[in-house]
Structure formats: C-alpha cells, structure tokens
Amino acid sequence: MIFFEAAKWVPFIIEEIMPQKGEKKISLETVVPFVFLVGSVCIPHLDSYAVLKRIPSLALLPALERLPMEDAGQTRLSLSKSLGLIEGYGGRGKGGLPATLSPAEEEKAKGPHEKYGYNSYLSEKISLDRSIPDYRPTKCKELKYAKELPQISIIFIFVNEALSVILRSVHSAVNHTPTHLLKEIILVDDNSDEEELKAPLEEYVHKRYPGLVKVVRNQKREGLIRARIEGWKVATGQVTGFFDAHVEFTAGWAEPVLSRIQENRKRVILPSIDNIKQDTFEVQRYENSAHGYSWELWCMYISPPKDWWDAGDPSLPIRTPAMIGCSFVVNRKFFGEIGLLDPGMDVYGGENIELGIKVWLCGGSMEVLPCSRVAHIERKKKPYNSNIGFYTKRNALRVAEVWMDDYKSHVYIAWNLPLENPGIDIGDVSERRALRKSLKCKNFQWYLDHVYPEMRRYNNTIAYGELRNNKAKDVCLDQGPLENHTAILYPCHGWGPQLARYTKEGFLHLGALGTTTLLPDTRCLVDNSKSRLPQLLDCDKVKSSLYKRWNFIQNGAIMNKGTGRCLEVENRGLAGIDLILRSCTGQRWTIKNSIK
C-alpha cells in the first residue's frame, strides 16, 4: 500500500520535469535513476524495475524494456527527429486539448488536410506520446483484474495514412498496454503509394520497438476487410485486436477487454469510442452507446438497451447488435472458427454488420465496454472513396442473402433494388451459407427478437420504389422538405426521399426506411378531405384510418378509401407540374418493384 501511494505520483512528477517548449531538454538517462529510486525506496526487497512495470500509467517503461538503457534517450530522439516528429509528454495537444497553428502554418496545412481528411500538418506538431483524457466511468478505475490475462496482438490497417498518425497509434498502444499483455503490433499496409510509409516507417518501428512490431505489405490493394484477414493470419497472440491506424488509447483500456474474453472466449468486445477532431485533434467524449445499423446496413450509434439503463451502472458492458467497425477485439481461434470476415466482400462496409449478426446467431455475443476507451479520428475523406457506395451495397446484399432469411427483402427495399436480378453481381455465397449451416446458427427472426428488438420491421410491404405518373414520367413522388409535411413531385433519382412503399393494409409510406423504434419512422400519405395537397404525416397520429388508406394496383389509379379522391398531377404549363388530390380522371401510376 505504501508503495502504491508513493508510486502513483511518479508519472505526474516525470511529466512535470519533462521539458516544455523553450526549456532545456532532460535526457531519459536523467529521469530513469529517479524512477528507480522511487521504486527502491518504496519496496527495497523487490526488483524495482519489475515493480515499475506494473504501474499501468507509466508509459516510459515499454520503451525502456526494449532499448539498451544507455542508448534509450539518444535513440528515441534521433529516430523521431529524423522524421520531423516529436516524442515526449508535453507540447501541443497535450491531454487531448485542441492544438492550434499559426496563420502561416494554417496556410501550409490546407493541402495535407484535404489529402488525408484530417490535419496531418498539425499532427506532426503533436507528440507521438501525448496523453488523452480518461473518460471511463468512475467505477471502472476502481475495478481489479486478474494478473494472468491472455496476450493480445494489435493489428492496424492503413493505406496512404499520414505517418505521424500511424506512429501515434503505435506509440499509444505501447504506452497504454501493459508489457506482459502486448504480444505484438502488426501493421498491415494495404498497398500504400506514399514513400514515407515504406522504408522510413519500417526502419522507425523496427529500431524503436525491436521485435515488437511486424509490418505486412499487401502486393495489391485488397480493401480493409481482406487486409484485416491478412493481419489475423500472421498474429500469434491468443487475442487479436483490430483497429484503424488513426486511434489513441486510454490508460487501462486493455485489461477489461482481455478479462471479458478470458471469461468467455466467444465474446467479441468493442471498446467505447471517443472522438479525435480531425481539424484540431481535440479528444471529445462520446456518450456510452450500442452500435446498430439501418436496413441499408450503414452502421450507427444507438441507445443502449433498456436493461442496461435499468441497472443504473454505467460501467457495465452494453449489449450491441453489431459494431461501428473502427475497433474490435476477439479471441483469435474463435474468430477463425466463425469464418473471420467475409473475404468475398470488397473494400469495406457491411462486414461489421455481418460479424455482429454472425456472432449472435452462431453462439457468441458482442458488447461495448465503457471501461475500455479508444479515441478515433473521424476523417472528412477516406482512402477507398472510389465508388464506395457500390461496394457497400454489394456487401450488404451478401449479408442479406446469407444471414437474413426472409428479412433480406428489407435490404433490397432500402437500396431500392428488385429482389430478382438486382443488377449487381454479389459473387458466390455458397461457402458462407455452408459455414452458417455447419455452425448450426439460429435464424434471423431470433436475432431480431432477442438482440435487436428495437429494429423496425417492414414485412407488410408488397411494392416499393419510385412512383411515376403516366402524365409526367420524368418526375417522381417525393417527400419534399420535411417541415412542410406535403408530398411533391421532383425529378426522379430513386433515393430515400423518393422511396415509396405500399403495404398490405393500403398505407402508402414515403421516405427512407426507419431504423429503430426510438427514431422517427417513414410517414404516410394522407388525404385529410380538406386540402387539395396530399399530406405526409406520422401514421400513428392520423385519427381516421380511412384517410391514410389507398386503393392501388400497378399501372392503375391511387384512390383514397376515405374520400374517393385520386392522387394526380396537374400540368400548369410554364408554372410547372403540381401534385394534387381531386376527382379521378383516369391517371395511372407505376411503382418500380413488387414483392411476390
């Protein structure tokens, strides 16, 4: 107890004596004897270096362990200096505060900022070892974990990332992961073009962290999904952690993750995500969240489930249906048993949803840990931007065809694609279907009922897509400005505002599919019997059921059951075309897709 009361001050004292801007540099050799002295005084009969390694917040020790003591300070400074980078614990952005540039520097930063999607010029002015805020719930800091935990291989994927950002991710991982738990760090280069990411990167990590960091080079651009699989192949730790190469770790992040996996090897663990602002590198706290998704399979933050809120303990794990994708940790062997990520997917998008669904259906679980926090840069621009929408759509259809059973229609509806012959080659999914069968996985209905009950369901849909009138085929029914609550006509594009959905009950919905029951749903087309303009209202708030019910068959009229009026177009010449309600004149409507 005496030791820990004294030793807990060591990191703060070191930080105070580390040089600030303009001060004379203090070599590592000056600091080290002081640190050893504290350990020796507190517990003389123990090896002081071994004791000091057990202080999680003392980030110097991994570096000390891996470098000859007499050369440590000189080596680390010369390595970073040769790349124009900074090490140490002070300087701009210290503690996760926003960093700034002078007006002259701001001008120099514009080009790199646009190139990387974050302020890479500013990043070079921020120490690779900076500390960030500890946003864990208070109770997390009081929890104790077993000394013997499985070792982790940390895998970073990058393509044309700024060198300073990659190295800060590596430094942060080393500084904040206990030495005895960190098996290795694996950097997977997905065929980058930047010269600084070749020899300079490799030379730095091998000299700075000899024997700890491996660099894997893809010979062609594989995309994030297959690059992660390549990292898994060379990993030797019992646990594998997959991270974007633009993250920073909070002290104490690893122990709760590894403890949960040690308790149950079939858990996939997601550290809670905080935000690193792409312009100032300020670290902002994100609220504790689960990770969900829309029916397009775009990931999103969602509210934790009710039972988590009811427990009243913010340190508890949060059940999550899927993952955002920037970081996850999993038992290496279990990950292989459940088929890794789908190698038939391209680039990224959808693999994070597939993993969540697959884990839950096939005997595992997925959870977010508030006691483990990782800060992540949300970039303005991403390296795989070329046609990423197409790849995400294709990947989503693979997930739907393998895992979603009858609910696969929801994905096709969300993307406004026909169920048959959608015009997208999704590749062969027979191996993934065979995997599901061999693992004896549950059905998707079970997943919705037990894991993602908040997800809205649209089983009552019988037709969907753009609605066109035979008198105006170049414009489509559109929800218009949300605040107007009035449907309009607009040039056809087929995306969310023009996604019409006709149901078995005769409701005509308009707008992108909803996500969870805690968020707004699509609205209903309504004839209130008073206005010539068709209203768009929340279905549940329409008092008269008939006013929101319509008779419609393909290539026929759309007639309201309550008023008998038809939805039609009125051509006003130079004034344009209006969408109105009036006595039926025989106009016909067609909707793009139907469900048989």
User: pLDDT for 404-450, tens place per residue?
Assistant: 999 999 999 999 999 999 999 999 999 999 999 999 999 999 999 99
Report yes or no: 580 and 568 within 8 Å, Cβ to Cβ: yes
Give percent above pLDDT 90 in the chain: 79
DSSP of 23-48, one letter per residue?
Answer: SPP--HHHHHHHHHHHHHHH-TTS-H
In whole angstroms, give the CA distance from residue 351 to residue 454. 21
**13 residue type, one letter:** I
pTM above threshold 0.75:
yes
Tokens of 11: 């990191």
Report yes or no: 54 and 180 within 8 Å, Cβ to Cβ: no
Between 22 and 427, name the one with better pLDDT: 427
Report yes or no: 101 and 125 within 8 Å, Cβ to Cβ: yes
The model's pLDDT over 182-239, given as tens digits with 9 standing for 90+, comes to 999 999 999 999 999 999 999 999 999 999 999 999 999 999 999 999 999 999 999 9
Alpha-carbon Rg for the chain, nearest whole angstrom, is 28
The model's pLDDT over 455-491, given as tens digits with 9 standing for 90+, comes to 999 999 999 999 999 999 999 999 998 887 999 999 9
State yes or no: pLDDT of 62 exceeds 80: no
In whole angstroms, give the CA distance from residue 280 to residue 490. 40
Those residues whose C-beta lies under 8 Å from the C-beta of residue 401, and which sit 6 or more positions away, are 408, 426, 429
Q: How far is CA 500 from CA 420, 461, 469, 485, 517, in A?
A: 19, 10, 13, 15, 20
Domains of the chain: 1-83 (no CATH), 461-594 (2.80.10.50)
519 burial via Cβ count (<10 Å: 0-12, 13-18, 19+): middle
Tokens of 110: 């514009």
State yes or no: pLDDT of 167 exceeds 70: yes
In whole angstroms, give the CA distance from residue 186 to residue 153. 7
In whole angstroms, give the CA distance from residue 472 to residue 4. 78
Helix (H, G, I), strand (E, B), or coil: what is residue 4?
Answer: helix
Per-residue pLDDT, 482: 81
Q: How many CA atoms lie within 13 A of 383 on its CB side?
A: 21
